[in-house]
Structure 1
Amino acid sequence: MDAVELTRKLQEEATCSICLDYFTDPVMTACGHNFCRECIQMSWDKGRGKKGRRKRRGSFPCPECREVSPQRNLRPNRLLTKVAEMARQHPSLQEKDLCKVHQELLKLFCQEDQSPICVVCRESREHRLHTVLPIDEAVQDYKVKLEENMEYLREEMMKTAEVLARDNRTLKEWQEIVKNRRDRIEMEFEKVCLFLAEEEHRLLQALKKEEDATVMKLRENKVLLDQQNCSLEMLLLELEEKREHSALQMLQDMNHPLDRIKNLNIQYPEAIPTNLTTVCRVPGQIEVLKCFQVDVVPDAATAYPYLLLYESQERRYLNFPVDGTICSKDRFLAYPCVVGQTTFSEGRHYWEVGMNLTGDALWALGVCRDNISRKDRVPKSPENGFWVVQLSKGDKYLPMLSAATPFTLMEPPSHMGIFLDYEAGDVSFYNVNNGSHLHTYSQATFSGPLQPFFCLGAPKSGQMVISTVTAWVKG
C-alpha cells in the first residue's frame, strides 16, 4: 500500500460516519461500530420520536448496520481518540497536499505555471511540455531565493529605520529652529512695537509742545488785545458822554481825555503762523507700503497732445502730437494730463513718482475715476472724480477739496508716493524723501474703477518720472 492509499485509509478510520468529521469523544457500540458520543446521542433522540422503531425498551438500531443494541452499552474508544488527534495534526493528511483533480500527492512543481502538480498531471497535455522539478528541489531553490529576499528586506528595513531615525532627529531639530525663529520674530516685533510706541509718544509730545507754545502766544495776544480793547472802549464811552453835555460842560477839562488819547500806546501783535513743523512720520512705513507696489505705466493714448512721453532708458517716444490724435475720445484736451494703463477696482496699491521740476511748476498727482471728463476744465475735487494733491508756486501742496486749507512744506519733495486702499476708501500721499505723510482722502466707498492720474501745469515746468516713462510738456 502506497503512502496516498495509507493516508486515505487512516482518514477513513478516523472519520465519524454520522458527522463525516474526525472523531470527537468516540464510543463503540455492541456491534463494533464507532461514532462520536454526541452524534450517537442525537441518533437516539431521533429514534425515540418515531413509533415502532424500538423493539425493546432501552435499545436502538446501529446507524451503520441497523443491528439493535442496548442503549447504554457504549464503550469509550481511547485508541480511536488518539488516531483522530493524529489525523488532525499530521500535515501529510491535509487536503491541500493532494491534487484536487486526481487526489494524488503533490510531488512535482511546474515552473511555467508556478504551481505544485501530481505525477498524473505531469503526463497530461497541459504540463507535458513544461519544465517540472521535484517539489523538494523547487522548495530548496525557493528557500535560497526567499533567504536572499529576506536579507534584502532586512537591509532595507535597517536603512528605513536609519532614515526614520534621521527624520525624527531632523523633525526635532526643525521644530527647534522654527521655535527659535518664532520667538525671534515675536521679540523683534515687540522691539518694533516698543520703538513705534516711543516714537509715537515723542511725536505727540512734540506736537503738544508746539500746540502749547502757539496757544500760549495766542492767549497772551488775546489778553493784550482784550485789555487794549477795554481801554479804548472806556475812552470811547467817556468821549460819547462828553459829546452829550452842554457846550460849557463839554469845554471844561477837555484836554484831559484828548491827552489820554494822544498818549495811547496801541499795539497790534504780529500774526502767529499756524503751519505745523511736527510732521507725521512713521518709521518704516514706506518700506511696508512697498509691499503693495505696482508697476504703473502712463497710457500714451490718453496723453494731452503736447504732453510728451518717452522711455527713460531708450529715449523712445511713446506719442507725438500728430494729426488725428486730438480727436481721440480718450485723450485729455483741457490739461497736460495722462492716466495710467492699469485700472483699480479692488485691493491695495502703491506707486511712486519722481519729479525734476522748476520752482514755479504746477502739477497734480493722485487717482481719478475712469469716466472723468477729458475735454472740459473741471475742478479736480472728489465731487468730480479726482483725489489728487497739487503743487502750486513751488511750495504749497493743495488737497483739491473745495473747502480745503492749503498746507505748506519747507521744500517740495522730489519723490512722491501714492497709496490706494480701495476697500477702505482711502488715498494717501507720502514724501518718499523723508517718509512723512502729506495727506489722506477718506470716504466710505468709491463709486467705480480708478486710474492713476498725472498732470503737469505748463511748458518748462520740468519732468515727471513715472516708472520707466518720463513726461514733460512741449513748449
Structure 2
Amino acid sequence: MDLNLQVFQNELTCSICENCFVDPITTDCGHSFCRPCFYLSWPNRSVLAHCSESQEEMQQRDFHTNVCLKQMVLIVRQARLGQFLRSKDNRCRIHMEAKQIFCEDQRSLLCLHCSTSKEHEAHRHCSVEEAVEEHREKLLKTMCFLWEKYCESHIKLNVETVTTRSWEIYVSSKREGIRAEYDNLPPSRYMEEQTHLERLQREGKEIFEQLKDSEARMAQKRELLRGMYTELKEMCHKPDVELLLDFGDILHRSEAVCVHMPQPVKAELTAVTIPGMIARFDLFKGMTDAYRLR
C-alpha cells in the first residue's frame, strides 16, 4: 500500500476495533469511533456513556454520523480497492484482464469479456466500486434498525425483570389486603375468604411462571439481536471484495431475528378485592333484595 495512503488511513482508524471507521461518530470531547463499536462498548443503555479515550461522561444519547470523516474513509477505501482491482491477483485467467465487474447473481468478479458471455449475459451486473458501497450502506441501514430493536428489547426486559422481582411482594400485599377486608366481616365468611386466598395464590403462581418464561425469552431475543448486530459490524469491516463475496443471506437472517419480538406479560390479578367492596356489595345486595320483595 502507498505510504501516504497508509498514513492517511491510520488517522481514520477506530481505537476500539483498530479498523477504518464505519459510520463514524464524534463525541462531545472530540474523539471519534465507529458507531457500532461505540454502541457495543456501551453495555447499559440506561446509564450515561463514557468516552473510551478520555473517560469523560457524555450527556448525549443520540449521535449523528460525522459526514466529513465518512467521506474521507470512502476515499481511502476506494483508493485501496482501486489498487487491488489493478493488481495481478485480480486478473481474469482466461482473458488476462482486470475483473472490475460484479455479478450479483453468482456473487463473483468478472472481466468485461466474461460479463458478456452466454454464461453471464442474463445476470445482473454493476461495477465493483458501486456494488461495494451499495452493500455496505444496506448493512448500515439494517444495523440501524437492529439497534433500535435491541434497545427496545433491552427496555422491555428491564421492565419485565423489575415486575418479576417485585411480583411476590405484590401478591403478598394483596393477600394481606384480602385478610384485612375479611377481618371486618362475620366469621361465617371464613370459607369464602379461604377460597379467595387460594385463588389469589394460584393466579399469583401462574403469572409468576409466565413472567419468568417471558423474561427468559426476552433475554434470549436481546442476545440474538446483539449477536446479529455484531455479525453485521464484522461484515462491514471486511475488505471490500471479501465483503461482496461473503455477503450471502446476512440481510435475510437479520430480518428473521427481528420477527416475533416478545411482549411483556399482562400481569393482572382477578382475585383481588378493593377495601370495603365486600361490605358495600352486601349492603347493595340487601337493598336490592328488599326492593324486590316490595
TM-score, with length taken from structure 2: 0.28
- Of structures 1 and 2, the one scoring higher in RCO (CA 8 A, sep 6+) is 2
Largest Rg, 1 or 2: 1
Which has a greater percent of helix?
Answer: 2
Which has a greater percent of strand?
Answer: 1
